[in-house]
Amino acid sequence: MNKLFLSKLTQILLYGVLVSYAIVTLIPFLWALSASFKPLSEIVSGEANFFPRSFTLENYRQIFFQEPLFLRWLFNSVAIAVSVTGLNLLFNSMAGYALARLRFRGRQFWFFLLLAVLAIPAQITLIPTFLILKAIGWLNSYQGMIVPSMVNATFIFMMRQFFVNFPRELEEAAQLDGLGQFEIFRRIVLPLAKPALAAQAVFVFMGSWNNFLLPVVILFDPEMFTLPLGLNTFKGQYISYWNYIMAASMLFTLPVMILYAFFNRYFIQGVTFTGGKG
């Protein structure tokens, strides 16, 4: 649509729509943020004031004192999300590279198997996965959370698409210089794949950080909870203390928001990658 042909009126209308939607997007966040700084009495009064009348940090202090496990949950979430992200980056790129570049027997077969895996909904494998983890004694453990999610078919495809369009000359030159396949991958291919890796990293990290279904099934010791699970328990304990619940929610959202503020370019890129090529 050409800018020149938009009359002043439609221009105003467009901005009207966009700004109202921006408000609709922001209100829940601002409302939660303001509640996290309000004392309970102000919350119960049911007034719709976005600026707390009696501003307090008490709710945040309360969380750390009343819920000693909060830091532990934070640690669990970080440890799991970081390990899952690191392993995904390495393994997805290795598989994507192999499927795009290496010539080995059975490549087509594995490629189509992976395609099929993409179509399988998580709920079918949920219960058997639980039983398998139980059988090997990995319930309630970090490895139980990490190992099943350390590769991801979607991102293997993303990496494959990326490497298929990758210029071959560099690798060939390295081969002539006598570099092995692993050395070529580690020293030449991976460093050049940084944009794709960054997009993948934010998505895998977020997915792990926000995951609810897997932990709710395999983690049951409060010490091992991740933040989403902890938050849910917290809600059960402080059923109508919305000031505490909102403060805890805000603490939980903060790391992701910071990540998003710095890397939003990669988030958008990642969506386009998976969206355009998935």
Output the furthest CA–CA distance in the chain (Å, rounded).
Answer: 76
Count of residues touching other proteins (by CB under 8 A): 98
Burial (CB count <10 Å: 0-12, 13-18, 19+), residue 72: middle
When asked if residue 267 is in the footprint of other proteins (CB under 8 A), the reply is yes
Pick the binder of other proteins from 148, 188, 190, 198 (CB under 8 A): 148
Q: Token pair of 88, please?
A: 């995904």
Residues of this chain, 3-42, that bind other proteins according to CB under 8 A: 3, 5-6, 10, 14-15, 17-18, 21-22, 24-29, 31-32, 35
- Cα separation, 254 vs 163, in Å, equals 34
Interacting span for other proteins (CB under 8 A) from 58-66, 68-76, 160-168, 254-262: 254-262
Specify the DSSP class assigned to residue 39: -
**The one segment of 52-60, 64-72, 142-150, 190-198 that binds other proteins by CB under 8 A:** 142-150
Distance CA 278, CA 275 (A): 6
Calpha distance 223→215 (Å, rounded): 12
122 binds other proteins (CB under 8 A): yes
Interacting residue with other proteins among 39, 86, 195, 228 (CB under 8 A): 228
Which one of 197, 246, 247, 266 is in contact with other proteins (CB under 8 A)?
A: 246
DSSP annotation of 5: G
- Using the rule CB under 8 A, is 190 a contact of other proteins? no
Q: Does 178 bind other proteins (CB under 8 A)?
A: no
2 is an interface residue for other proteins by CB under 8 A: yes
* CB 82 to other proteins: min, Å: 16
Whole-number Å distance between alpha carbons of 241 and 205: 30
- Residue 100 CA to residue 11 CA, distance in Å, equals 46
Work out which of 60, 91, 142, 166 binds other proteins, going by CB under 8 A.
Answer: 91
Q: Least distance in Å: CB of 173 to other proteins?
A: 18
Query: Which of these, 22, 77, 40, lies nearest to 247 by C-alpha position?
Result: 40
Q: Indicate the residue among 32 and 82 with the shorter CB distance to other proteins.
A: 32
Region from 51-59, 66-74, 78-86, 179-187 binding other proteins, contact rule CB under 8 A: 179-187
Rounded Cα distance, 189 and 192, in Å: 5
Contact region with other proteins (CB under 8 A), list: 57-65, 66-74, 120-128, 192-200: 120-128
Shortest distance (Å) from residue 55 CB to other proteins: 19
Residue 115: strand, helix, or coil: helix
Which of 221, 78, 223 is CA-nearest to residue 139?
A: 221
Q: How far is the CB of 68 from other proteins (least distance, A)?
A: 20
Within 41-60, which residues bind other proteins (CB under 8 A)?
A: 46, 48
Q: Answer yes or no whether residue 151 interacts with other proteins by CB under 8 A.
A: yes
Asked if 256 touches other proteins (CB under 8 A), the answer is: yes
Task: Tell whether residue 242 is a contact of other proteins (CB under 8 A).
Answer: yes
